[in-house]
């Protein structure tokens, strides 16, 4: 009987801190834990008793990587609870802000966290020693995203200008002209990025994913939409964001603080770039679609390693759409719509760079938060990442352990898991009350 343990003490180049432990016996995996040792921060509990206008700023602090995503899902959930809706130019501004975050976050992942895996470096900084031009391009791209967020939100991490109902102040057109310039360059960089990463050596792996993403009639959904699921080829089924709790249920797993999401009773679905692309690629901007085709992506991508190409394509889309919106930008008449708190429940979901991010709030008679539920993407993907890992390891258990560990880390990074997010919500089903 042989017993083997693969242990990655600290996952690197992911957001937040986690570890992986795999136990195998006689060539079979008997245990696999993607372990999150992020200390719990209890956001849902802390939100109780806060005013209806506070969750966007407070929940932004769940994750410094995608604060805009938190702000957007939170705003929309509260607006829904209060019967308000943000439309027109204000919604465009929100989209712009969100595209900024996509560009920033994807560029970070592609260049500094993920590409080094394909090129054999320990880090983006190490990669810069040989390929400074590439890393500088990545940083410039990332900076374009950050500047877009900064121009609208004030700062890239935990922007200050977002409020329930819209913004505190709508930027003047002239405040956005410099950003537009930078984005034009960024779009070229993004196209070059797609071509570059498309040339990487990808293992020939495909998984039968069940995807979950938002879908919007006129957009490659980012800010809002209905929830759709499917494998990308066959028919999709969908439900309104407000029905989320009826479909998605998550459980805390006994052996660790990790959790598995069940979608309509089945475990292990995937959300994030592959899911968005698989379900919505037809809605990408023409330029992004073209780039995807040129990069050899079909309408669906089921190879997790190619996630890096999909992210690059999404950067093209984000730059392209942001430029379109910027060109048409006219200062909205008012920076926000009034949102009067009232008792009730509201749901909101948007597409964080790493996948669908769902918020639900119940407001009490005083307009204070009585309950909050938040489902971040990485928590949803946890089970699916573990499944990827099983598929990866099963035929390779004879390899040396450090080699296995390296393979696993790469497989995990394919999904760009954000452990900061996921750690804080291990179960959002329980507590009502």
* Window 150-189: residues binding another protein (CB under 8 A): 154-158, 160-161, 163, 167-169
Q: Please report how close the Cβ of residue 96 comes to another protein at its closest, in angstroms.
A: 15
Q: Which stretch binds another protein (CB under 8 A): 141-149, 194-202, 271-279, 352-360?
A: 141-149
Rounded Cα–Cα distance for residues 33 and 7 (Å) = 10
Of 248, 207, 212, residue with least CA distance to 351: 212
Number of residues in contact with another protein, rule: CB under 8 A?
A: 75
* φ, ψ (nearest 5 deg) of residue 98: -70, -40
* CA distances in angstroms from 194 to 242, 243, 311, 314, 413, listed in the order given: 36, 36, 9, 9, 18
Q: Please report how close the Cβ of residue 140 comes to another protein at its closest, in angstroms.
A: 7
Q: Please report how close the Cβ of residue 340 comes to another protein at its closest, in angstroms.
A: 16
Q: Which stretch binds another protein (CB under 8 A): 121-129, 215-223, 227-235, 288-296?
A: 121-129
**Cβ-based nearer residue to another protein, 135 or 221:** 135
**Cβ-based nearer residue to another protein, 136 or 240:** 136
Q: Does 103 bind another protein (CB under 8 A)?
A: no
Rounded Cα–Cα distance for residues 315 and 101 (Å) = 10
Q: Does 364 bind another protein (CB under 8 A)?
A: no
| Residues 6+ positions from 143 with CB-CB distance below 8 Å | 182
The helix (run of H) or strand (run of E) holding residue 366 is none
Give the strand order in the sheet containing 266-267.
Answer: 248-252, 259-263, 266-267
**Cβ-based nearer residue to another protein, 230 or 376:** 376
| Region 388-427 residues binding another protein, contact defined as CB under 8 A | 409, 420, 424-427
- Which pair of structure tokens corresponds to residue 184? 């034009």
**Cβ-based nearer residue to another protein, 51 or 195:** 51
Q: Does 119 bind another protein (CB under 8 A)?
A: no
Of 346, 171, 321, residue with least CA distance to 245: 346
Of 4, 7, 5, 3, residue with least CA distance to 405: 7
**Cβ-based nearer residue to another protein, 126 or 294:** 126
**Cβ-based nearer residue to another protein, 91 or 169:** 169
Q: Which stretch binds another protein (CB under 8 A): 23-31, 58-66, 201-209, 396-404?
A: 58-66
Rounded Cα–Cα distance for residues 116 and 131 (Å) = 11
| Region 214-273 residues binding another protein, contact defined as CB under 8 A | 251-252, 254, 256-257
**Cβ-based nearer residue to another protein, 107 or 227:** 107
**Cβ-based nearer residue to another protein, 143 or 184:** 143
Q: Which stretch binds another protein (CB under 8 A): 90-98, 140-148, 208-216, 302-310?
A: 140-148
Site string for another protein, 31-50 (x = CB under 8 A): ------xxxxxxxxxx-x-x
| Region 302-361 residues binding another protein, contact defined as CB under 8 A | 335
- Render the burial of 99-113: b for 16+ CB within 10 Å, e for the rest: bbbbbbbbbbbbbbb
Helices 88-107, 307-327: inter-axial angle, 10-degree rounding: 150
| Region 62-81 residues binding another protein, contact defined as CB under 8 A | 62-65, 67
**Strand residues in 2-100 grouped as ranges (E):** 3-8, 18-25, 28-36
């Amino acid at each position: 009987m042989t017993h083997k343990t693969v242990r990655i003490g600290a996952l690197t180049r992911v957001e937040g801190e986690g570890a992986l432990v795999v136990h195998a016996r006689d060539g079979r995996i008997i245990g696999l834990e993607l372990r999150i040792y992020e200390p719990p921060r209890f956001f849902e509990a802390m939100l109780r008793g806060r005013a209806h206008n506070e969750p966007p700023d407070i929940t932004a602090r769940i994750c410094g990587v995608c604060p805009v995503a938190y702000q957007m899902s939170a705003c929309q959930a509260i607006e829904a609870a209060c019967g308000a809706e943000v439309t027109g130019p204000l919604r465009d501004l929100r989209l712009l802000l969100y595209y900024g975050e996509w560009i920033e976050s994807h560029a970070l992942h592609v260049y500094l966290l993920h590409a080094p895996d394909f090129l054999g470096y320990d880090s983006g900084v190490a990669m810069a020693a040989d390929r400074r031009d590439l890393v500088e391009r990545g940083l410039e791209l990332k900076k374009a995203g950050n500047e877009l967020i900064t121009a609208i939100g004030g700062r890239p991490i935990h922007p200050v200008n977002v409020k329930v109902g819209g913004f505190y102040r709508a930027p003047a057109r002239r405040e956005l002209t410099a950003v537009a310039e930078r984005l034009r360059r960024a779009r070229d960089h993004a196209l070059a990025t797609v071509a570059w990463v498309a040339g990487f050596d990808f293992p020939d792996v495909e998984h039968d994913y069940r995807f979950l993403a938002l879908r919007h009639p006129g957009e490659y959904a980012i800010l809002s939409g209905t929830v759709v699921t499917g494998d990308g080829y066959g028919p999709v089924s969908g439900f309104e964001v407000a029905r989320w709790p009826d479909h998605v249920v998550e459980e805390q797993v006994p052996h660790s603080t990790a959790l598995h999401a069940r979608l309509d009773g089945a475990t292990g679905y995937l959300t994030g770039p592959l899911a968005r692309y698989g379900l919505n690629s037809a809605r990408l901007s023409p330029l992004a679609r073209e780039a995807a085709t040129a990069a050899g992506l079909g309408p669906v991508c089921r190879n997790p390693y190619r996630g890096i190409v999909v992210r690059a394509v999404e950067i093209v889309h984000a730059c392209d759409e942001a430029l379109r919106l910027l060109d048409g930008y006219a200062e909205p008449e008012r920076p926000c719509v009034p949102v009067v708190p009232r008792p009730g429940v509201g749901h909101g979901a948007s597409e964080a760079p790493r996948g669908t991010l769902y918020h639900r709030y119940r407001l009490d008679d005083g307009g204070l938060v009585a309950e909050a539920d938040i489902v971040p993407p990485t928590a949803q993907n946890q089970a699916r990442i573990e499944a990827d890992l099983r598929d990866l390891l099963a035929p390779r258990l004879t390899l040396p352990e450090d080699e296995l560990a390296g393979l696993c880390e790469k497989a995990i990074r394919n999904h760009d898991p954000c452990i900061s997010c996921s750690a804080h919500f291990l179960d959002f089903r329980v507590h009502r009350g």
